[in-house]
Amino acid sequence: MRVVLDTNVIVSGLLTETGVPAQVLDLFIAGEYQVVVDERIVQEYRAVLTRPELGLDASDVDQFLSLTGFAERVVGVPLPLTFSDPGDLPFVEVAVAGGVDAVVTGNVKHFRPREGRLSIPILTPRQFLDWIADGGR
């Protein structure tokens, strides 16, 4: 199973060790699914996770960022889609280019295109865990 993780899932997972996003991260660390990224996504992870105002533990951030070295790298292809937050487009471009099974985000509404169509499932962390429990169906 291959997925794209939105940055907000990672932030939430690192902020609250017992929440659903943390369970999603734990499954990644355990090798239960493959994360797919491109350089834009890795740069966003690094920029957001190191923001002092988030107060994330530096060793947790370093550990997660080191794990991105095991992520599958693809080159996102520009798509004719428009989102309310243009910063979400790279995640979808990588998802399409990588042929992933899903994008996991805490902001599902942000991934509804204003223009264009999207055929990749956009799941909340809870939906993703339920989906895994159901064998990815």
Asked whether the beta carbons of 4 and 41 are under 8 A apart, the reply is yes
Kindly report the average pLDDT of the chain as a whole number: 91
Question: From CA 14, how far away is CA 54, in angstroms rounded?
Answer: 10
Sign (positive or negative) of CA dihedral 68, 72, 77, 81:
negative
Distance CA 56, CA 59 (A): 9
pLDDT of residue 85: 85
CATH value at residue 9: 3.40.50.1010
* Per-residue pLDDT at 41: 97
Domain count, the chain: 1
CA diameter of the chain: 40
pLDDT single digits (tens) 40-79: 999 999 999 999 999 999 999 999 999 999 999 999 989 8
Q: What is residue 68's predicted lDDT score, i.e. its pLDDT?
A: 92
17-48 pLDDT, tens digit per residue, is 899 999 999 999 999 999 999 999 999 999 99
Look at residue 112 and tell me whether its pLDDT is greater than 80.
no
d(CA 26, CA 30): 6
Q: Where are the beta strands (DSSP E) in the chain?
A: 2-5, 34-37, 72-73, 102-104, 122-123
| Distance, CA of 108 to CA of 123 (rounded, Å) | 7
More confident residue, 75 or 117: 75
At residue 114, does pLDDT exceed 70?
Answer: no
pLDDT over 70 at 113, yes or no? no
Q: Is the pLDDT reported for residue 137 higher than 90?
A: no
Residue 116 has pLDDT above 70, yes or no: no
Domain extent at residue 35: 2-133
